[in-house]
Structure 1
Amino acid sequence: MTDPIRVLVCDDQLLIRTGLSTIIDAQPDLEVVGECADGRAAVDLARALRPHVVVMDVRMPVLDGIEATRLLAGAGVEHPVKVLVVTTFNLDEYVYEALRAGASGFVLKDAPPDRLLLGIRTVATGAALLDPDVTRRLVGRYAARIRPVRGTAHDTPLTPRELEVLRLIADGLSNSEIAAVLTISPETVKTFVSRILGKLDLRDRVQAVVFAYRHGLVT
């Protein structure tokens, strides 16, 4: 039997924290190994308990979720931890900042429990979780901030087809949706995505979206 996914829950509101933990712990493949109410405690507990996923609120005392995420999953972290941001603000600037800090995705606090559980399982596998509709709106709102001061499509090592796939990723499409648009198989799309991430030295689809906007590949 496979060991359960170890989860650390961090939220400064006791009622929400308890609710999240109850939902997660009720799953046979998930286990809450700790809870905390601020980002500093999240960093300390994550380093001590080694969870597979940290469910992280954004606005917290002592150290906010963005800085905590950067310390746990940011560039240069020796043993990065997967972070799933849970927030009440689907278009909050802090969500975008958390993704830049290294979070693997986000879900909304008012989403159905199944969405939260899917998010934890998805992030634990090393994949990114980005809701297409929310991604389009989020990136659209902050496009001015992440649009580049350098780089164009001509500066990337991608083929024209890979650039096409990257633009569709940045538009929030899933692999199956990209496959339908390009009339290719989902397996072929997976191959393209892997090549894109490898060539650009990106961790996941979250970083691919940010890269595309920073380099002016989408409008």
Structure 2
Amino acid sequence: MKSKTITIMLADSHPICLYGLKHIIESQENLSVISTARKENDIIEKALLTNPDILIIDPKLNDGDGFKSIRILKERGCKAKIILLLENICSERYMQASKINIEGYILKTAELDKILYSIREVNSGAIFIDENIEKELKHSDECINMSKLENQRLNILSQREFEILRLVASGLRNKTIAEQLYISEKTVKNHLTRIFKKIEVNDRVQATLFAIRAGMI
């Protein structure tokens, strides 16, 4: 049975990067680039019009702020999962991203196979963070300071809650976590509700970023 085609929108101010990535993605089976944009207004308009499964965006736009575009799209009900395509990861940009629901982070210098893998992972419901971004985040001054606060919050988690948070941060879904721990999916969900409250996050993406800052993965 043929897999459902994953529809993708690309947003980048640089035409070479934009069309090069488009060519690479469309050479793959079951991946289709249905829209591209280089300007902030075009990103919002085209994403709402085409409703892609995945929006891959460089937040550093020549004419605007990619994070602003993402926030507007979410406010208007856009269901696309977001992958940030970054030249580098600085603490300021990370702090912006951590405040909104971003499913994927990848560097423009990443191997092509990794970029394609990130698309399929994010589409399946997983969180994808380039390991080079993880390393950079752990060594930034802001994240070092934040990690102290994260570690304080970790101390109030039970052993079971800690383990579930680690598995979530590793990209596992509730069903897989339940199977590994020999508990029900409902029990996993109940644990996650308590975990999110204790570490003061709203969703799995923020929980994953929390775990990275705390050095759990």
Interval containing the TM-score (normalised by the shorter chain): 0.7 to 0.9
Instruction: State the percentage of identical aligned residues.
Output: 23
- Of the structure 1 ranges 116-125 and 61-70, higher mean CA displacement relative to structure 2 is found in 61-70
Match of 2:86 in 1: 87
TM (norm. structure 2) is 0.74
Match of 1:188 in 2: 181
**In structure 1, distance between residues paired with 2:136 and 2:179:** 25
Structure 1: 5+ residue stretches without partners: 176-183
Say what the alpha-carbon RMSD is for the aligned residues. 3.8
The alpha carbon displacement at 1:139 in A equals: 4.2
Letter in 2 for 1:109: K
Q: Deviations over 1:11-54 (max 9, x none)?
A: 00000000110111111111000000023321211111000000
- Of the structure 1 ranges 120-129 and 60-69, higher mean CA displacement relative to structure 2 is found in 60-69
Q: How does 1:109-188 map to 2 (within 5 A)?
A: 109-141=108-140, 142-143=142-143, 146=146, 152-153=152-153, 158-166=157-165, 168=166, 187-188=180-181
Kindly tell me: are residues 115 and 193 of structure 1, through their superposed partners in 2, closer, same or farther at Cα, counting changes over 3 Å? farther
Aligned residue for 1:60, secondary structure, equals coil
Kindly tell me: are residues 77 and 136 of structure 1, through their superposed partners in 2, closer, same or farther at Cα, counting changes over 3 Å? farther
Contact 2:84 2:102 in 1 (8 A): yes
Contact 1:143 1:213 in 2 (8 A): no
**In structure 2, distance between residues paired with 1:154 and 1:114:** 34
**In structure 1, distance between residues paired with 2:105 and 2:35:** 20
Aligned residue for 2:56, secondary structure, equals strand
Aligned residue for 2:181, secondary structure, equals helix
**In structure 2, distance between residues paired with 1:119 and 1:145:** 29
Kindly tell me: are residues 148 and 38 of structure 1, through their superposed partners in 2, closer, same or farther at Cα, counting changes over 3 Å? farther
Match of 2:9 in 1: 8
**In structure 1, distance between residues paired with 2:128 and 2:56:** 13
**In structure 1, distance between residues paired with 2:113 and 2:154:** 41
Contact 2:14 2:38 in 1 (8 A): yes
Contact 2:121 2:127 in 1 (8 A): yes
Structure 2: 5+ residue stretches without partners: none
Aligned residue for 1:8, secondary structure, equals strand
**In structure 2, distance between residues paired with 1:72 and 1:114:** 28
